[in-house]
Homo-oligomer: A and B are copies of this chain.
């Protein structure tokens, strides 16, 4: 493996000149430049970036902390981040934390040991995170919720949930069930807030028995749907906090002989690819996943460049998509 020294010898020039030829060609005579390039070609020289990074004290890399990479929403966010990083010449280190605090810490370690320059966290922030030394390193939270104590790119979960539920109410629904994520998940909390606000504004009392807890998986949606199908007074609409649970619930409800949307309306959250194609097509909220990724990468790079970020919280617009899984309740 040839080094810059080999190139300098081959070209009959000094190391410094070769270095300059590479990083500031305009500071070198065309003749020297050519000699350098010829030598590089001949020796198949490739600069050792490990050395460069060491020298420049910059890893040119960012870490993405993702709770679960096999989740389409996260994958899309990552894709957005990646494309921005790519253009900036930065590498993206993948940190699949599997929801483990210990693993998360290990990945944060990467930037503390200069293997990466900053972090993008794709997990919603929750109170007891204060342990995490994320505050000490350049970090951005994407896909977060309200009240995240560091720079954030997110959607308005409260508002989105409210919009969905208001729509159901506008169709004439009054008994609206909800399948939540895990109780303490910040997304759950925010979306539940929106649900309650919509009810309140329509003077509908909140009914605890219309609430079933899931964990954002398809299976849990199916489970939760049983809670409702067993009720004597089945709700006429179901607000599910993500599409996977909605699809699970649809499956469960249909198996009980309920017709969608005539007997019961269903809404989701996320707009998965399949949601357009399930039966009936699902009314849902589309998050601009790629955009969230891009924006958070932009924000992180601002932080790294030590520019005063113009803004430290971005709330991106969602798109409420009405399909055929919702209809007025039966008279």
**Could you list which residues of chain A lie within 8 angstroms of chain B, going by C-beta atoms?**
46-51, 53-54, 57, 59, 61, 64, 68-72, 75-76, 78-79, 82-83, 86, 91-94, 96, 103, 106, 110, 112-115, 218, 222, 244, 247-248, 251, 254, 273-274, 276-279
Contacts and interface: CB of A to CB of B under 8 A. Distances in A.
* Tally of this chain's copies: 2
A112 B46 contact: yes
Given A54-B54, A93-B92, A218-B273, A115 B49 contact: yes
Contacts of A251: 277, 279
A69 B59 contact: no
B79 A96 contact: yes
A54 to B, nearest CB: 4
Given A69-B75, A218-B273, A114 B49 contact: yes
A70 B78 CA distance: 9
Nearest to A221: B277
B248 A113 contact: no
A108 to B, nearest CB: 11
Given A69-B75, A75-B69, A113-B49, A82 B96 contact: yes
Given A78-B94, A94-B82, A114 B50 contact: yes
Given A93-B92, A277-B251, A82 B57 contact: no
Contacts of A244: 273
Given A46-B113, A69-B78, A92-B93, A274 B254 contact: no
Contact of A94 (B70, B93, B114): B93
Contact of A75 (B46, B75, B110): B75
A70 B59 contact: no
A115 B46 CA distance: 11
